[in-house]
């Protein structure tokens, strides 16, 4: 049982303050959509509007083609997993799972198998008689998800459900939620500020900033083809390097950009550029190399700090004109703080952004 969710010019206002500015979005049946963005970007507000916990100030929320703005939350066919889990502390796990069904008027004989089934899926059968205070963070999270599952909703909503877990458990639960999505096949909308969660779980990522959608797309599309500097900086870890430069010259098949004290020739024309126009060069740390393997030389970098992580080595460095550049090199590297290393990049992975932050 899946549903499509369509937002049409959806707005949210608190008094005179607009927090969501006319959002258009379509989520297809069975899709795992992730709303991602920095704190305060409106992603949780948007989710709560879909849930019916916040009033929609303008526009329309459609589910399976039906307008839902005026439908109360309990009749939208949704279930939500909260950041704090929102488990009832005075009820056992079983009672927590059964609460929604009891409220809906199901008989005990109908509730029992559904609770047991959800418990089996989430492997919490031995915990059913425990109170939430006797559970670990991961177990509480499973119960919260179980409470959503038993209702057999058309749409699952997750509001930063992993943010209270430690790093190891977060990875484990991430995998479990993704597995659950494959198993159930329901439409899921998931809110997070963690771009790694978004990249690893989503069919579709919606990048939000200041109440507006910056870009919507599949994870690797956003990674490889960010249309905004904001998206380029938000997706990917470590963060993309942004180097200030100016257009030195432009022709039909090449563009020369002056950045880091060097002239960098890109073998392609850029849209709507002219000489002396300021631009930002975007290079991901993992796309920089210190060996010349067919790439273009960026500059000789002064290394400020080296972090050896075993599988990769992170360099925090500065270009000759003082711009900060980070490099991510594969494996262990023998590089000392204070040394100088050359940086090369592959032209295929070079992004250029105009003065307004739009990719050109």
Residues binding another protein (CB under 8 A): 51-53, 73-75, 78-80, 82-84, 86, 88-90, 99-100, 103-104, 133, 147, 151, 303-305, 336-339
d(CA 358, CA 166): 36
CB of 289 to another protein, least distance (A): 22
What minimum distance in Å lies between the beta carbon of 218 and another protein?
Answer: 30
Residues 45 and 269: their CA atoms lie apart, in Å, by: 41
Write down the residue that tokens 């927590």 correspond to: 96
By C-beta, is 48 or 229 nearer to another protein?
Answer: 48
**CB of 304: closest distance to another protein in angstroms?**
5
- Identity of the residue, 269 or 305, whose beta carbon is nearer to another protein in the bound complex: 305
Shorter beta-carbon distance to another protein: residue 14 or 88: 88
180-186: list long-range contacts, CB under 8 Å, 24+ apart. 180/121, 180/122, 180/145, 180/149, 181/32, 183/121, 184/149, 185/2, 185/30, 186/1, 186/2, 186/30, 186/153, 186/154, 186/155, 186/156
**232 versus 306: smaller Cβ distance to another protein:** 306
CB of 76 to another protein, least distance (A): 9
Strands of the sheet with 5-14, listed across from one edge: 17-27, 5-14, 58-63, 66-67
Q: Which is nearer to another protein, 38 or 338 (CB)?
A: 338
Nearer to another protein, 100 or 219 (CB): 100
Give 78 or 240: the residue with its C-beta nearer to another protein: 78
CB of 97 to another protein, least distance (A): 11
Asked if 245 and 265 touch (Cβ cutoff 8 Å), the reply is no
- Rounded to a whole number of angstroms, the minimum distance from the CB of residue 39 to another protein is 18
Tell me how far apart the alpha carbons of residues 198 and 235 are, in angstroms, rounded to a whole number.
9
Rounded CA gap, 68 and 56, in Å? 10
Tokens of residue 96, six digits: 């927590």
Residues 6+ apart with CB under 8 A from 240: 232, 233, 282, 283, 284, 285, 351
Half-sphere exposure (CA, 13 Å, Cβ side) for 163?
16
Nearer to another protein, 141 or 209 (CB): 141
At residue 174, the 3 state secondary structure works out as helix
Nearer to another protein, 153 or 236 (CB): 153
Task: Give the contacts of 156 (CB within 8 A, at least 6 positions apart).
Answer: 78, 79, 80, 81, 148, 186, 187, 188, 189
C-beta of 316: minimal distance to another protein in Å? Answer: 9
> Cβ distance 335 to 312 under 8 Å?
no
* Residue 184 beta carbon to another protein: minimum distance, rounded to whole angstroms: 18
Angle formed at CA 226 by CA 205 and CA 177, multiple of 5 degrees: 20
Distance of closest approach, residue 321 Cβ to another protein, in angstroms:
19
Distance CA 356, CA 38 (A): 20
Residues with Cβ within 8 Å of residue 127, at least 6 apart in sequence: 93, 119, 135, 139, 143
């Amino acid at each position: 049982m899946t549903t499509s969710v369509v937002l049409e010019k959806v707005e949210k206002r608190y008094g005179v303050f607009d927090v969501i500015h006319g959002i258009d979005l379509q989520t297809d049946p069975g899709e795992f959509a992730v709303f991602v963005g920095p704190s305060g970007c409106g992603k949780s507000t948007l989710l709560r509007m879909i849930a019916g916990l916040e009033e929609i100030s303008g526009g329309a929320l459609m589910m399976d083609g039906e307008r839902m703005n005026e439908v109360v939350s309990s009749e939208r066919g949704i279930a939500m997993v909260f950041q704090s889990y929102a488990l009832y502390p005075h009820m056992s796990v079983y009672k927590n799972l059964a609460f929604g069904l009891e409220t809906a008027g199901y008989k005990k004989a109908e509730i029992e198998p559904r609770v047991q089934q959800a418990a089996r899926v989430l492997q919490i059968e031995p915990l059913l008689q425990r109170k939430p205070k006797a559970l670990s963070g991961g177990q509480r999270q499973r119960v919260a998800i179980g409470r959503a599952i038993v209702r057999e909703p058309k749409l699952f909503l997750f509001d930063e459900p992993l943010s209270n877990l430690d790093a190891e458990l977060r990875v484990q639960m991430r995998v479990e939620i993704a597995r659950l999505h494959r198993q159930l096949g329901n439409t899921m909308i998931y809110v997070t500020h963690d771009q790694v969660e978004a990249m690893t779980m989503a069919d579709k990522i919606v990048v939000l900033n200041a109440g507006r959608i910056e870009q919507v797309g599949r994870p690797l599309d956003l990674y490889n083809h960010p249309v905004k500097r904001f998206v380029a900086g938000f997706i990917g870890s470590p963060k993309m390097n942004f180097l200030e430069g100016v257009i030195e010259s432009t022709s039909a098949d090449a563009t020369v950009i002056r950045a880091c004290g060097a002239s960098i020739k890109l073998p392609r024309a850029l849209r709507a550029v002219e000489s002396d126009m300021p631009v930002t060069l975007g290079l991901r740390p993992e796309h920089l190399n210190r060996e010349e393997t067919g790439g273009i030389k960026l500059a000789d970098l002064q290394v400020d700090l080296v972090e050896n992580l075993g599988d990769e080595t992170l360099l925090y460095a500065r270009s000759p004109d003082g711009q900060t550049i980070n490099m991510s090199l594969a494996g262990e590297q023998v590089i000392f703080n204070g040394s100088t290393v050359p940086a090369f990049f592959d032209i295929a992975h070079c992004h250029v952004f105009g003065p307004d932050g739009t990719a050109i």
